[in-house]
Amino acid sequence: MKTMMFCVIAGAILVVLGCGDEPPSRPRPPEIPETEFITTSDNYLNNRFFKLDLASPNSLPVHDVPGRDASRQRIDRGSIRVYRLVTGGEQKPDDVANIAAYLDTTGVFWVGPDCPPNDFRSPVVYGARWRELAWQPLVNADDEIQGLDVGSELGAGDALAVVYDFYPGDGDFSCRVGDRPPYDPPLGELPGEEAAYYRMKLLKAPEGAADYSFHYVIRNFYELGHPDIDANSFRFVIEEDSPLHPSADANGLPYLRIFGLDQIDLDGIPGHDGLVDIEDYWMIDLNRGLVHFPLDRPFAANRSQYEAFADSSGFTWDGSYLQGHQAHELYDPQVPSATYPEYGHFRLRATYTLN
pLDDT at 1 exceeding the cut of 50 = no
Supply the pTM of this predicted model.
0.88
pLDDT band (50, 70, 90) for residue 113: confident
Contact by Cβ (8 Å): 196, 98: yes
H helical segments located in the chain:
211-214, 255-258, 303-310, 321-324
Q: Please measure the distance between the N-terminal and C-terminal CA atoms of the chain and give it in whole angstroms.
A: 48
Integer-rounded Cα Rg, in Å, for the chain is: 28
Mean pLDDT (whole number) for 119-147: 92
Mean pLDDT (whole number) for 218-246: 96
Taking only the tens place, the pLDDT of each residue in 325-336 is 999 999 999 999
What's the pLDDT score for residue 172? 61
DSSP E strand boundaries for 169-263: 175-177, 198-204, 221-223, 235-240
As a whole number, the mean pLDDT across the chain is: 89
Residues above pLDDT 90, as percent of the chain: 72
Contact by Cβ (8 Å): 147, 191: no
DSSP assignments along 2-58, one per residue: ---EEEEETTEEEEEPPTTPPPP-PPPPPPPPPEEEEEETT---TTTEE-S--PSS-
**How far apart, in Å, are the Cα atoms of 53 and each of 36, 178, 242?**
37, 13, 38
pLDDT at 44 exceeding the cut of 50 = yes
What's the pLDDT score for residue 18? 41
Question: In terms of Cα–Cα distance, which of 183, 149, 146 is closest to 294?
Answer: 146
DSSP assignments along 151-175, one per residue: SSPPPTT--EEEEEEEE--TTPPPE
What's the pLDDT score for residue 90? 85
Taking only the tens place, the pLDDT of each residue in 156-194 is 999 999 999 988 766 566 788 999 999 999 988 999 999
Residues with Cβ < 8 Å from 72, sequence gap 6 or more? Answer: 168, 169, 170, 172
pLDDT at 222 exceeding the cut of 70 = yes
pLDDT band (50, 70, 90) for residue 148: very high
Distance of CA 92 to the CA centre of its chain: 29
Residue 265 CB burial class (10 angstroms; 0-12, 13-18, ≥19): middle
Contact by Cβ (8 Å): 186, 198: yes
Taking only the tens place, the pLDDT of each residue in 67-94 is 888 888 888 899 999 999 998 888 899 9
